[in-house]
Amino acid sequence: MFDVIIIGAGVIGSAIAWRLARHDLNVAVVERDDDVASATSKANSGIIHAGYDPEPGTLKAGLNVRGNKLYPDLCRELGVDYLACGSMVIAHEGQEEKLEKLLLRGRQNGVEDMAIISRDKLLDMEPNVAAEATSALYAPSAAVVSPYQLTVALAENAALNGVEFMFNTPVEDVLVEEGRVTGVRCGENIFAAPIVINAAGVHADRLAQLAGAERYDITPRKGEYLLLDKAMEGFVRQVLFPVPRGSSKGVLVVPTVEGNILAGPTAWDTEDREDVATTPQGLEEIRREAPWLVSGISWGKVIGSFAGLRAVADNDDFIIRASARVNGWIDVGGIQSPGLASAPAIAERVEHLVGGLTELNPRQDHVTQRKSPRVSQLDRMKRQQLIEKDSAFGRIVCRCEDVSEGEVLAALAGALPVCSLDALKRRTRAGTGRCQGGFCVPRLVAIISREKGIPPHQVTKKGPGSPVVSGWLDKGWKQ
Ligand SMILES: Cc1cc2nc3c(=O)[nH]c(=O)nc-3n(C[C@H](O)[C@H](O)[C@H](O)COP(=O)(O)OP(=O)(O)OC[C@H]3O[C@@H](n4cnc5c(N)ncnc54)[C@H](O)[C@@H]3O)c2cc1C
């Protein structure tokens, strides 16, 4: 019996788990996939938006601005990379009035230090900006994080503080008796709890329906991206947005914490809640739109493409509420952008809702620090010291991202029970670089096989049904 069950281990479920782990509660997270950040939380722009975009008075507006303020300390506490780069909305001739509107909206939402800057200043700050750009709205409080690094850190910290994560465990039914939620059913297993939090991303509306809670509908909206090589590092210094058109923020050009450049996303509604395939049309749209922001982008430097699904609710706002129909059921649905930026603030709000349903007492042995060395971020001296302590940190398994075997071993022995290639990628970056795994995958398969005591053909890319190799020629996998 748990005190609280959270459905979904995206950034929202993981942030809620991290927050609730401060209290003396028995919390479980049930996730259908084999790891955290396996859905929308791994495939987005990674922007901690300043908060000038959402309509004043909406949950999005309040939680975005609050979340933005919480991020620097959160990232420091969890050891998550945080790029305090700022953002700019770039105007072309005739669009300047729209910048004024955004500035006003930002001020209403409580965003600080925004300014409209002239073309000269803009060129100073962003030398590669498009020749047609006339001015920009500058928001210094915007930042960038790695969304999966953050989600892993939140979840690992929650796990260190006693939260139980169950992977490959899809919730198939919600159990309700006499108007109170009593737990969830996952296949043959029943997990009992008097409080269930629905953080199931694009599937949240269906789970709310299963529970018999207040109805809402989610439409998935696909966003596709192109990822450019680190050779482009510095091509843009802040997040660049076009002036927004309709319901989308448009195609952006974003510096990542790792030094790559991201271009995208597109915005296309889809009926398929699993469709994260990129398309020739989507990628072409990115190539067509990005030059609005910058000139000279080198498309020959593209090393990958991916897509994510926004969970667009019919009220176009976040839905965060304790159900009035089903006691103990809490919906956290429609968490589209700025969901990542708002995550710590959403977690605070949900903590407050949980506090309205059960008593919250602080956990005495709460651990706040999470540390794991990243070889690529160490100077020569520190690197040498680390290798002297443990030679595994001197064996580089991913040459593109400079990832050592020591980091892979630390990830495999981490607080969360994971062993797929994608899970390792999210924790160490092995396989995300220029060769996209060409060099490291055989090495990673061998390490996982050795450490977990399984044959290489049982190592998967992302859990059951995704083998990496189909067999072993020399039958000598144990060597
Ligand atoms: C293209 C794009 C760009 C974006 N850019 C930004 C940005 O720059 N800044 C920003 O603030 N926000 C951005 N967002 C929004 C942000 O990514 C989301 O708000 C956030 O990731 C949502 O997290 P989540 O945990 O709700 O959803 P998810 O990450 O999708 O997690 C939900 C989890 O629930 C699990 N699940 C579903 N059904 C079940 C079930 N039945 N049983 C068990 N588990 C289940 C899923 O497997 C999944 O892991 C963007 C989104 C997209 C798509």
Backbone angle region of 275, left / alpha / beta, with phi > 0 → left and psi within -120 to 50 → alpha: beta
If you write DSSP's letter for every residue of 64-93 in order, what string do you get?
HHHHHHHHHHHHHHHT--EE---EEEEEET
Q: Mean pLDDT, to the nearest integer, of 3-8?
A: 98
Examine the pLDDT at 478 and tell me if it is beyond 60: no
Rounded to whole angstroms, how far apart are CA atoms 97 and 478? 67
- Domain end call among 287, 311, 335: 311
Gap from CA of 449 to ligand 1 centroid (Å): 30
Rounded to whole angstroms, how far apart are CA atoms 108 and 360? 34
The answer for residues whose C-beta is within 8 angstroms of residue 408's C-beta and 6 or more apart is 397, 424, 428, 430, 444, 447
Tokens representing residue 244 in the block: 């927004």
Q: What residue numbers bound the domain in which 431 lies?
A: 375-458
294: β partners: 129
Chain-centroid distance of CA 224 in Å reads: 15
Rounded to whole angstroms, how far apart are CA atoms 290 and 226? 11
In this structure, are residues 331 and 323 in contact, taking their beta carbons and an 8 Å threshold?
yes
Q: Mean pLDDT, to the nearest integer, of 171-184?
A: 98
Any domain includes 356 = no
Peptide bond into 244 cis (omega under 30): no
Question: What CATH number is attached to the domain comprising 396?
Answer: 1.10.10
Q: Are residues 380 and 454 in the same domain?
A: yes
Q: Are residues 247 and 388 in the same domain?
A: no
Q: For the chain, how many structural domains are there in total?
A: 2
Supply the mean pLDDT for the chain.
95
Q: Are residues 223 and 303 in the same domain?
A: yes
Query: Which of 38, 41, 186 has most ligand 1 atoms within 8 Å of its beta carbon, as the pocket-test mutant?
Result: 41
Q: Are residues 241 and 114 in the same domain?
A: yes
63 lines ligand 1 (CB under 6 A): no
Q: Are residues 306 and 223 in the same domain?
A: yes
Q: Mean pLDDT, to the nearest integer, of 377-399?
A: 95
Any domain includes 174 = no
Any domain includes 137 = yes
Q: Are residues 249 and 134 in the same domain?
A: yes
51 lines ligand 1 (CB under 6 A): no
pLDDT at 248: 73
pLDDT at 181: 98
pLDDT at 367: 87
User: Quick one: pLDDT band at residue 406, thresholds 50, 70, 90?
Assistant: very high
Q: Are residues 301 and 394 in the same domain?
A: no
User: Quick one: pLDDT band at residue 477, thresholds 50, 70, 90?
Assistant: low
In this structure, are residues 459 and 421 in contact, taking their beta carbons and an 8 Å threshold?
yes
Rounded to whole angstroms, how far apart are CA atoms 90 and 179? 51
User: Quick one: pLDDT band at residue 320, thresholds 50, 70, 90?
Assistant: very high
Q: Mean pLDDT, to the nearest integer, of 174-194?
A: 98
Q: Are residues 287 and 402 in the same domain?
A: no
Rounded to whole angstroms, how far apart are CA atoms 243 and 98? 7
Which amino acids are annotated catalytic?
Answer: 49
Examine the pLDDT at 335 and tell me if it is beyond 50: yes
Rounded to whole angstroms, how far apart are CA atoms 200 and 179? 21
Examine the pLDDT at 474 and tell me if it is beyond 80: no
pLDDT tens per residue, range 31-49: 999 999 999 999 999 999 9
Q: Mean pLDDT, to the nearest integer, of 393-412?
A: 95
Q: Mean pLDDT, to the nearest integer, of 342-369?
A: 94
Any domain includes 412 = yes
Any domain includes 136 = yes
Q: Are residues 379 and 290 in the same domain?
A: no
Question: What CATH number is attached to the domain comprising 100?
Answer: 3.30.9.10
pTM of the model: 0.96
pLDDT at 245: 78
Q: Are residues 224 and 306 in the same domain?
A: yes
Q: Are residues 265 and 390 in the same domain?
A: no
45 lines ligand 1 (CB under 6 A): yes
Q: Is the dihedral of CA 124, 128, 130, 132 positive or negative?
A: positive
Any domain includes 5 = no
pLDDT at 370: 60
pLDDT tens per residue, range 116-144: 999 999 999 999 999 999 999 999 999 99
Any domain includes 250 = yes
Any domain includes 224 = yes
- Out of 292-296, 336-340, 375-379, pick the least confident: 375-379
Rounded to whole angstroms, how far apart are CA atoms 5 and 52? 34
User: Quick one: pLDDT band at residue 479, thresholds 50, 70, 90?
Assistant: very low
In this structure, are residues 325 and 212 in contact, taking their beta carbons and an 8 Å threshold?
yes
Q: Are residues 128 and 225 in the same domain?
A: yes
pLDDT at 475: 59
Percent of the chain topping pLDDT 70: 97
- Closest atom of ligand 1 to 332 CA is 26
Query: Closest residue (by CA) to atom 9 of ligand 1?
Result: 47
Gap from CA of 125 to ligand 1 centroid (Å): 32
pLDDT at 470: 81
If you write DSSP's letter for every residue of 274-285 in order, what string do you get?
T-----HHHHHH
